[in-house]
Structure 1
Amino acid sequence: MRASKGCAAWGRRGTGCGVIKLSQRALKSTSWIGQNCRLSAFPCFPVKFSLWYRPSACSPVVKLLMKPRVKHLGHAVRIGLAVLIAVTSAHASAYALDSLLDCKADAHAFIAPLQQDHVIEATPMRVEANSINAFKPTRGSHLTAFDFGVFAVVGFQKDDAIFKTGSGAPIAESAYGAVVIGGEDSVREKVRAAGSDAIIHHVAPFITAIFCNRD
């Protein structure tokens, strides 16, 4: 393709700039066409600028072409760093409940340390009729139980101020556990392998309760 005279300021054929035809949509979105090349249909465009690049002639056009790519690359890098920081933070603040779910303690011994360490909310997000209190993990905490992520921790102990009483009969003098994200069979396998005899209860698809009832 022959270089247009309108591109003389940007270089001639074989010196770094050539001419390429763009779609009408591309023409409308390219603000430098009329100002730099003064062409109605053929903007000046660097052809094979990696081989013919002349900074004095084509650098404004090269920058225009490269800017979107750099922008997308920078956006991807920022996303990658954000994910890496989130994963690193999650592992750094991981709080495993495995040893507390051996069903040898009571609800107070299970819930109180979690509140003191600020990994669960101080007040329950829900109180069932049977007095089971459900506590939500605090923002930024990463609770695990037998390698499963914890959705909520639950518990009740009679005559204990940290628990609220429901409208019905209490489930037991003391009961506690964790609701985890995982299938019932997988959770049971991990819990039994750890030597715990906790009750494994299906709550919903891939939501399972690990429950200790002392009665």
Structure 2
Amino acid sequence: MRVYLAGPEVFLADRGAAVGAEKRRICAAHGLTGVVPVEEGGLPGAKGADDPAWFGLYRGNEDLIRGCDALIANLTPFRGPSADPGTVFELGFMRGLGRPVLGYANTAGRFGGRTLAALGPAAKRRPDGVWEDAEGMAVEDFDLHDNLMLEGGIRASGGLFTAEAVLPERRWSDLSAFARCVAAAAAMLQAGGGAGRGQPGSESSA
């Protein structure tokens, strides 16, 4: 049973490979095969002769996702109050395939609070108490760890979302929350026999 490991660790110049290897080791300990995004150049046959390199990476990763039974996404805030947009796309793509998606974040802060902190003095309250930005756009605040569509998709698929506060220097290397997602994914897939490329298991708390 194959699990796609989505996350911005691919941008770690010096530690990305080591983090990916440790993630695969944790997956293997639970009877799963961890699949990391493709590296520069994509997969053989993943791009056409006239395709630019970046499109080859996209097609290669999409092919990998289609070949997996579930997805675990690192939704730790990345360069802003929300998760890495590429990871978000991959989570949504797997959810669209009807397979289990799980997620974790190495921060205990809530999405609304992080957004307000990023806005700073530009944020102001409306008469009804809702916060908005300088353009009059409301700040989403459902006391969730990220956008409702992310946690909603995880919950609807029967998956698990877990968050843990870690030291700043370990934000991209601490895999405690990831390991909980792996254990949950293994239980879900093994209960379903891994049939049909990811039949959802019983719903977990998000």
**Category of TM-score, reference length = shorter chain:** under 0.3
Question: Higher relative contact order at CA 8 Å, sep ≥6: structure 1 or structure 2?
Answer: 2
> TM-score, normalized by length of structure 1?
0.20
Larger strand percent: 1
